[in-house]
């Protein structure tokens, strides 16, 4: 019997999200989340899906990622889905930063771990946690292929003129300063799913993907290949996000340092954690912002307007980058749910052949769908993202072609 299950692990600094999928029918067998690892109030939520659907929770301290993964393994085993099952084909890990080195999902070995470690200076918050997750999983199942799937990989096709910052090239090269882009698994999945929704091959369509979650990024995808994206060296560049500023004059940093007397760490925290929607109005949840706008709150309205203005600028820019656009697609928490954001982002862009049908836009659904009128030259769509499915698909594709299994047999 062939092993067809893939465990997907997304290890953050204090959390681990996981899903167990069966690639025979792309079904989800179990999902869960360990939160506040390292604190006294750690919490695990595990849900067995399918006919025997049930959710279990555990409180109490979980000291580190090792203990967290062991707890996950116990929960899976209690459902008869343990890590020792012969049905488990591989573990797929989300890794945030793969630099220019990793252009594809990669079976993990010592040299891969070393390279992910070398990238820590450009991803100090994410890569260490991702590495810990991989090392812990390797400890639990050293014989099983472990595949790293990189957030940056989809963007490594960007041409140099889109990836380069206009700074001294020698300095840029020495410190590996360039635009890498993130959310790549989502942009890859959603651009492909959009082609499917249009009934066309990915190679034939040009798509602008707007991934609007707590973090947010836009990308221009030509014939299935990423040609530009809004995030840069780190996820700080580009759109206005939940708590990140996105684009601004870099001189703001010098000004805050020299005139404001703030330390570099304080400025880092300001721009990453206390800016964006949160910085503008004190809330980073679009639902709350909409409630406040409905109640006549001017500060919330300004935050919404700044957010939408930036989004429209990127839509316009990527129309210019692509030349021909077949679809503009909204995804992630805000993109999939906030009809008001979609309406405001597209309103008045008839110049680009873009329009939203009010009735279609108002429909709430978990399905991929068109929200443009039939007469529109360019499709506007909502396509729910599924990063775990994409990681599992890429992991399984690598393992099922035999190379990974041979390496680890
Ligand atoms: P993450 O980047 O954490 O994965 P998500 O893609 O889950 O984020 O998006 C989370 C955000 O989606 C929330 O902060 C909230 O602003 C927004 N959101 C979720 N549901 C709704 C909704 N019904 N209406 C408007 N915004 C929503």
- How far apart, in whole angstroms, are the C-alpha atoms of residue 139 and residue 73? 12
CB 339 within 8 A of CB 361: yes
Q: Are residues 119 and 251 in the same domain?
A: no
Question: Is-contact 353 371, C-beta < 8 A?
Answer: no
Residues 134 and 211 in one domain: no
Please choose from 333, 343, 383, 390 the residue to mutate so as to test ligand 1's pocket, defined by most ligand atoms within 8 A of CB.
333
Domain assignment present for residue 401? The answer is no
Residue 259 and residue 345 in one domain: yes
Q: Are residues 118 and 246 in the same domain?
A: no
Was 133 annotated as part of a binding site?
A: no
**CATH assignment at residue 60:** 3.30.420.40
372 in the same domain as 273: yes
Predicted TM-score (pTM) of the model is 0.93
Angstrom distance (rounded) from CA 96 to CA 26: 24
Query: In the beta sheet, which residues pair with residue 329?
Result: 209, 381
For residue 227, give the 3-state DSSP assignment. Answer: strand
Choose the catalytic residue: 79, 151, 228, 283: 151
Confidence at residue 402, expressed as pLDDT on a 0 to 100 scale: 61
Under 8 Å between Cβ of 180 and 231: yes
99 and 220 both lie in a single domain: no
119 and 47 within one domain = yes
214 annotated binding-site participant: yes
Residue 165 domain-assigned (yes or no): no
Cα–Cα distance, 409 to 396 (Å, whole number): 16
Residues with CB under 6 A from ligand 1: 213-215, 242, 284-287, 332-334, 337-338
151 catalytic residue (yes or no): yes
Cα 302 from chain centroid? 26
Q: What is the pLDDT of residue 231?
A: 97
Q: Which residues form the domain of 345?
A: 199-386
DSSP 363: -
Burial label for 365, CB within 10 Å (0-12, 13-18, 19+), is: exposed
Structural tokens at position 319: 């129309």
Q: With a cut of 80, say whether residue 384 has pLDDT above it.
A: yes
Whether 236 and 102 share a structural domain: no
Give me ligand 1 centre to Cα 212, in Å.
8
The total number of structural domains that make up the chain: 2
Q: What are the pLDDT digits (tens) for 96-114?
A: 999 999 999 999 999 999 9
For residue 409, the model assigns a pLDDT of: 37
Confidence band (pLDDT; 50, 70, 90) for 405? Answer: very low
> CA 102 to CA 221: how far, in whole Å?
19
């Amino acid at each position: 019997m062939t092993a067809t299950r893939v465990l997907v692990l997304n290890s953050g600094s204090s959390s681990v999200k996981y899903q167990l999928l069966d690639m025979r029918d792309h079904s989800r067998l179990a999902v869960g989340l360990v939160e506040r690892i390292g604190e006294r109030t750690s919490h695990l939520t595990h849900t067995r899906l399918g006919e025997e659907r049930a959710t279990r929770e555990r409180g109490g301290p979980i000291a580190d990622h090792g203990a967290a993964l062991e707890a996950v393994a116990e929960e899976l085993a209690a459902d008869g889905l343990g890590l020792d099952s012969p049905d488990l084909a591989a573990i797929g890990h989300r890794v945030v930063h793969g630099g220019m080195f990793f252009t594809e999902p990669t079976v993990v070995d010592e040299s891969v771990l070393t390279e992910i470690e070398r990238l820590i200076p450009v991803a100090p918050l994410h890569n260490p946690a991702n590495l810990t997750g991989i090392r812990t999983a390797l400890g639990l199942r050293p014989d099983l292929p472990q595949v790293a799937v990189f957030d940056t990989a989809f963007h490594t096709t960007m041409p140099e003129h889109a990836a380069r910052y206009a700074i001294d090239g020698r300095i840029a090269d020495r410190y590996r300063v360039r635009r890498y882009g993130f959310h790549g698994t989502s942009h890859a999945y959603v651009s492909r799913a959009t082609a499917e929704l249009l009934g066309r091959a990915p190679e034939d369509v040009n798509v602008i993907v707007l991934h609007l979650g707590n973090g947010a990024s836009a990308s221009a995808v030509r014939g299935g290949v990423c040609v530009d994206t809004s995030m840069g060296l780190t996820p700080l560049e580009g759109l206005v996000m939940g708590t990140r500023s996105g684009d601004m004059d870099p001189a703001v940093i010098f000004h805050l340092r020299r005139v404001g007397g703030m330390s570099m760490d304080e400025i880092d925290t300001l721009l990453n954690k206390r800016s964006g929607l949160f910085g503008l109005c004190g809330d980073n949840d679009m639902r709350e912002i909409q409630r406040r706008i409905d109640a006549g709150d001017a500060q919330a309205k300004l935050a919404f307007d700044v957010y939408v203005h930036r989004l429209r600028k990127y839509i316009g820019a990527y129309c210019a980058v692509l030349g021909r656009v077949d679809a503009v697609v909204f995804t992630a928490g805000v993109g999939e749910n906030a009809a008001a954001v979609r309406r405001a982002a597209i309103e008045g862009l008839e110049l680009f052949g873009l329009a939203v049908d009010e009735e279609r836009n108002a429909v709430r659904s978990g399905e991929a769908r068109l929200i443009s009128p039939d007469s529109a030259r360019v499709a506007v769509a909502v396509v729910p993202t599924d990063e775990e499915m994409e990681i599992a698909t890429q992991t399984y594709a690598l393992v099922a072609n035999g190379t990974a299994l041979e390496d680890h047999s």
